[in-house]
Amino acid sequence: MNLTRRDLARLTAAAAFSRFPRLGRSQDSGRTIGYCIVGLGRISMQHFMPGARLSQYSKVTALVSGHRDKAERMAAEYHVPAKSIYSYEQYDAIAQNKDIDAVYIALPNSMHAEYSIRGARAGKHVLCEKPMCTTVADAEAMIEASRRAGKKLMIAYRCQYEPLHQRAIRMIRDGTLGKVQAIESSFGFNIGSGEWRTTRKLGGGGPLMDVGIYCLNACRYLTGEEPAELKGYSSVTDHDGRFAEVEEHLSWTMKFPSGAVAACNTSYGVNMPGFFRVHGAKGMLHMEPAFNYDGVRLSVHLEDKPPIDTLSGDRDPAQFPPQADHLAECIFQNKEPKTPGEEGLRDMKLMTAIYRSC
């Protein structure tokens, strides 16, 4: 049997994913949810769609793209019929496609609200990439549209479905670290010129909306609390034209009701490997890289105990298949997603407050 590089990569990914327990239950065996992929960019083609292929209850059944040639290539790879390829102008016609149960929104930030709302009105469940949108009003409108349609709205906070993140949360919740005292977190990269993310119209903001949101969301799910106080500072140091509309750097602090404090940094001007470090009364928990698609690493140092050092693997697909299947299970069992629209709304309110503080 002759295997291509792509075949080998898929086999390796499947073997890696098999190490993790499935989220599904026996009564859902044989059932699948058909996803319509809205926007054929890096995260959808390189991550979500391969993840859906490795999942238990999810499959790609339709595509929406402004590039017909790209859509046809992806349709051939995922066995999507030509009748299920749509342009953006044809988007509302998904309402008549019974092979589509849910839409996966992977568009620029400012387009999330419109296409999520139209997806719900078309009678489809919605899995929307983060950030949920660019304004609090849009977030509330997305929640209301899904509620009126009687459909699920889930925000794609993939890290909350990653096994090592879940392990970190359990260790904090069960008191392994003792009372949480402080958290540090950063994530950033040196963005190129001409990126849509540096335009306020499409991005809605700078690195806070794009990668800083990982730090913000992590502080919330690690503590299980909502910030009681926050303060932000933003700046531009590289006056090279990239940051005429958005911030280059942003730092913020938060204080939680328990007394725990957090300090976070994000940037579009310098590479900041994504990490978080949680200091507890009994020890320290550190994850770096924390927000990558693969190669996540968790280290724990406790008083009078051997250190723990766990790596998820270099080509680990442990985030996207469980994320896709979680929405499928919520549809099957009529339960609320772990990361519903309200989770995205809370981050939108906090990011708005951080920007106002800046």
Positions annotated as catalytic residues are 130, 214
How far from 90 is each of 62, 97, 117, 162, 309, CA to CA, in Å?
A: 12, 12, 15, 35, 50
What sign has the CA pseudo-torsion 273, 349, 258, 168?
negative
Question: DSSP alpha helices (H): ranges in the chain?
Answer: 5-17, 42-43, 49-54, 68-78, 112-121, 136-149, 163-173, 200-203, 207, 213-223, 320-333, 341-357
Tokens (6 digits) for 278: 């949680």
* 3 state DSSP class of 57: coil
d(CA 249, CA 270): 9
Q: Which two tokens stand for residue 107?
A: 């568009």
Which token pair is 158? Answer: 């993939």
Confirm if 13 and 54 have CB atoms less than 8 A apart: yes
DSSP-derived secondary structure for 115-169: HHHHHHHTT-EEEEESS--SSHHHHHHHHHHHHHHT--EEEE-GGGGSHHHHHHH
